[in-house]
Amino acid sequence: MKRSLLFGAMMACVLPVHRAPGDDAVPAVAAPTNMVWIPAGEFTMGTDDAHAMPNERPARRVRVSGFWIDPTVVTNAQFAAFVAATGYVTIAERPVDWEELKKQVPPGTPKPADELLQPGSLVYTPPGAPVDLRVLANWWTWTNGADWRHPQGPASTIAGKDAHPVVHVAWDDAVAYAAWAGKRLPTEAEWEFAARGGMTVPARFAWGNEFRPNGRFMANTYTGEFPVKDTAEDGFAGVAPVKSFPANGYGLFDMGGNVWNWCGDFYMDSPHTIAVAGAICCDPTGPATSAAARNPAGMERVIKGGSFLCNVSYCESYRPTARRGTPSDTGTEHIGFRCVMTAEMAQAKAKAAVTAPSN
């Protein structure tokens, strides 16, 4: 990471906290339809848990302003409405641009076969036997014709799955939807704050410290031997419809498990270490660019929340502090997104609606 980026990130974290009295109150503007207000607050972001991934440590204090957030990830029905209104074509539905791809791979990487450059996406493919968990290719297959309408490949369909999360959406696709809806993607800090559901004491999971309180499954995760066989003990093998599991304290669903959620931030391996000890970061928006040791040439964005593929033997990423970087042009069968809106955005949208010319 460049020193200038490190310095800039540090300075962003030492700005003093200035909040007007009552800044946690719901703004005096019409609430966006089907969104939940998250009041401003301060919380512990990240964790010092020795069992967590290194990129989640150390814990640090963060302050976020109030915002609205979607109670669920965007569904197939909602995304279909966006596509019908705009004619938008997702990245998975477009041929792969080798000239762009070359910028993200090591110099000298040979051009892939033409069939691998056709429209498609990554589909989860159970290997049927134990495999090396360090090699993701053991259960992910590039599948031509896989996209949001065909989540398991060209022969599959989303018919009857309007309430399922839309998947195979890249970061750019999510940003395009958010802009159309008058919203944006959440920052990592906003997402993690909302995931905690108002808990004042950090807990391991979005619902507490027990994975199955009173024996009840609280999230759609991988039950069984990963990635060989999902037993569907929690009721689902694969993606579940939204609201299939209990909401958190804010009334938000699937803030752990089911599908990962795109965030607005660039991904950095160690973002928490840039915070100055004792300082409070105010509305952090992440680093100025991506910095991932395993993908130094790629531009990655943060995903949060884990998915139906998360298992305690592998990643256990259905925790609020869990985080991962994913190339912004990559969609998969287990990544979706939800949107947020600030008071300023709501006011601007309301004003635009009033001043819009009538037909």
Domain boundaries, the chain: 66-270+286-338
Residue type at 152? Q
User: Roughly how many angstroms between the first and final C-alpha of the chain, as a whole number?
Assistant: 52
What is the mean pLDDT of the segment spanning 84-92?
Answer: 98
Q: Per residue in 187-241, pLDDT tens? A: 999 999 999 999 988 899 999 999 999 999 999 999 999 999 999 999 999 999 9
Q: Per residue in 255-287, pLDDT tens? A: 999 999 999 999 999 877 766 556 678 999 998
279 vs 14: CA distance, rounded Å: 6
Whether 161 and 76 have beta carbons less than 8 Å apart is answered as: yes
pLDDT of amino acid 144? 95
pLDDT of amino acid 194? 98
Tell me phi and psi for residue 335, to 5 degrees. -125, 130
Query: Quick check: 159 pLDDT over 60?
Result: yes
pTM for this model (two decimals): 0.89
Tokens in use for 204?
């391991």
Whether 194 and 252 have beta carbons less than 8 Å apart is answered as: yes
Could you tell me whether strands 323-327 and 229-230 are parallel, antiparallel, or unpaired per DSSP bridges?
Answer: unpaired
28 vs 109: CA distance, rounded Å: 55
Percentage of residues in the chain with pLDDT exceeding 90? 71
Query: Quick check: 242 pLDDT over 80?
Result: yes
Tokens in use for 92?
């998975």
Whether 275 and 6 have beta carbons less than 8 Å apart is answered as: no
260 vs 45: CA distance, rounded Å: 18
Query: Quick check: 345 pLDDT over 60?
Result: yes
Could you tell me whether strands 41-45 and 60-64 are parallel, antiparallel, or unpaired per DSSP bridges?
Answer: antiparallel
Q: Per residue in 11-61, pLDDT tens? A: 344 333 334 334 567 777 778 999 999 999 999 999 999 889 999 999 999
> Class of the 66-270+286-338 domain?
alpha beta
